Structure formats: C-alpha cells, structure tokens
Structure 1
C-alpha cells in the first residue's frame, strides 16, 4: 500500500508567506507614510504660496493698481511654482493609489491580519532608532556641546588634586576612567560624524598627553595602565556609535 504524499504543514506555509511578503508589506507601508508626509508638507507650502500670490495681485475690494515689475515677476514665478506643486500632488496621489492597491492585494493573499501585526510589531529599539533618525540634527548639536563639556570635566578630573577629583563611589576607578572617555568619544563621534579618524587619533594623543601632564600636578602621577584603560574607553565609544549606525541602516533596509 502506497503511503500518501507528505506536504508541508499549513503553519510552515504561513510562516513562509510572512517571511516572503512581510518585508515588502512593510516597505509599502513606509512608502505610503512618506507620501503622506510629502503631501502634507507640500499642501502647507501651497497654501502659503496662494496667500503670497493674493497679496501680490493687489485686487482687494475690486480696486486694481499697476504692479511694480519686480512684483509682476514674483507673481509669475509664484504661479509657476504653484502649478509645479499641483502636478507633484497629482503624481503623489497616483503613487498612493498604486501602492495602496498593491498592499491590498498582498493582504488578500490570506495572511493580511498576520502581516498587519507583523508590520506593526517593531521593538523598542527599532522605534528608538527611528526617533533618533528623525531628530538627528538636534542630537548632533547636543552631542557637540556635551562632548566639549565632558572634555573639560575630564581635563579637570585628570589634572586636579586627588581631593578635588570628581568620582563615583560605587564604580571601580578603572571602570570610571574608561566610561568617562567612552562617553566623550561617543559624543564627539555623534557630533562630528565625518571626523571619526581624527577623533580617534586626537583622543589617543589627549590620553597620553594628560597622563604626562600629571607629572606637574601635585599628588598625581600618570601610569601606562591608565593610558591603556582610557584608550580602551575611546575605542569603545567610537565602536559603539559605529555599531548603532550600522543597526540604524539595517532598520532602514528592513
């Protein structure tokens, strides 16, 4: 007697569909969200352009007066810009209709509910990285300010007397030193993303220079051990920022 053919389970088929269609479904959702943002921004700018054009026309209460040549040129330019905005809005509406139809077709494959849940199941880290990406300009400015403040604190802590040196009682001295340089290097790397090699080089030079400078500070002395600990902190700070940026890129792709 022949045994019946064996087929994959429905659960495995469902998981295969999710793995295959899930990334596409999420990309469509992100594209539609981007279209909505662009439409909202463009509509707002279009309203402002209408207001400016009405002011340039100068036909209030039916009274017409001759416009200056510069105002006439500005009005012509405003009309051309508004027509371009109208055309762009029509393009966006066409794209939205097309992408919405594609998404609806994917949902009609029988795994629509699971796909909606899958697309909305971003973890806390994913949402955090998206917020970071949206606020990157502000974060860079804050990072620059924090980096220089941390550098000032580090220089003071390194060259001041032992009794004036700030410290955290529950941290080991080596961990404290490493974390301080890690935080400073990470802040500089976030604030100056195109200067990573210079930050690493200058960071190591600063570590060595500050240890040598302790020879002129009472009750302080630099050691090779401290140099290594602080250099590890600088390296880990730069690696941490690089790792977060790679993770951010992977979130954007997925």
Structure 2
C-alpha cells in the first residue's frame, strides 16, 4: 500500500503541475467549482504522499504546500494564467486536510502506519 501511495502521489503531483502551468485552454474541466477542484487535488496529493511516507508526514505537508506556492508563482509566467493568493490558500487547506486524513487513516488502520516504511 505504501509503495502504491508513493507512486500515485508523485503521479498526481506531475498531473497537477501540467494542469496548473499549461495554457488555460489545456486545463481539464470537471464541471465542479474550481476551488473544489484545487482543494481536492491537493488534498489527494498530500493524503497519498503522507500515506506513502508515514514517518515523514510533516515534511510531506511542507512539500505539498511549497509545491502549491511554486505552482501559483509559475502561473505568472503563462500569459493566459494567473496566480492568486486566494487560490494558494485553498490549496494549502487541501494539503492540510489531506495530511490530516492520512494521519487519521493511520490511527484507525494501524497497518497503514509507519511500521514497514523503508
């Protein structure tokens, strides 16, 4: 489970990066409000990486928040995109909730905890 969570987490980060820095015309649209998309994407990212690296949850949270900040800043380089503090804050909230959900999952299901991490 830990290895799969790691792979999926890094794949999610790659997908978020492409969707965030690509021109607006290439951004996938789910039909959900964009704040929910942002929140959900970063919650999933933090959840999977924190689940994959259970002994490093704080570092994962810092990494996810730093990625959110960097991606918002990179949007300023693309003419059709815009980085906003409000968008960053939604992503930070998603990161926090995802990391907290990982911690809760580890407490509820101890097999998901840091026992077997390499």
TM-score norm. by structure 1 comes to 0.42
**Quick check: 1:160 aligned with 2:25?**
no
1:116-175 deviations in Å (ceiling 9; x for gaps): xxxxxxxxxxxxxxxxxxxxxxx1111111011100000011100111011211x11100
Question: Whose relative contact order is higher, 1 or 2, with alpha carbons under 8 Å and at least 6 apart?
Answer: 2
Flag the structure with larger Rg: 1
Cα distance between partner residues in 2 of 1:167 and 1:193? 32
1:214 alignment partner in structure 2: 75
Cα distance between partner residues in 2 of 1:198 and 1:244? 18
Tell me how many residue pairs correspond in the alignment: 110
Cα distance between partner residues in 2 of 1:142 and 1:246? 19
SS at match of 1:216: coil
CA positional deviation for 1:218: 2.2
Identify which of 209, 212, 225 aligns with 2:86: 225
2:60 alignment partner in structure 1: 199
1:150 alignment partner in structure 2: 12
Cα distance between partner residues in 2 of 1:145 and 1:234? 18
1:190 alignment partner in structure 2: 51
Query: What does residue range 1-254 of structure 1 map to in structure 2 within 5 Å?
Result: 139-169=1-31, 171-249=32-110
Q: Which runs of 4+ in 1 moved over 3 A?
A: none
5+ residue gaps, structure 2: 111-118
CA positional deviation for 1:236: 0.4
The RMSD of aligned alpha carbons is 1.0
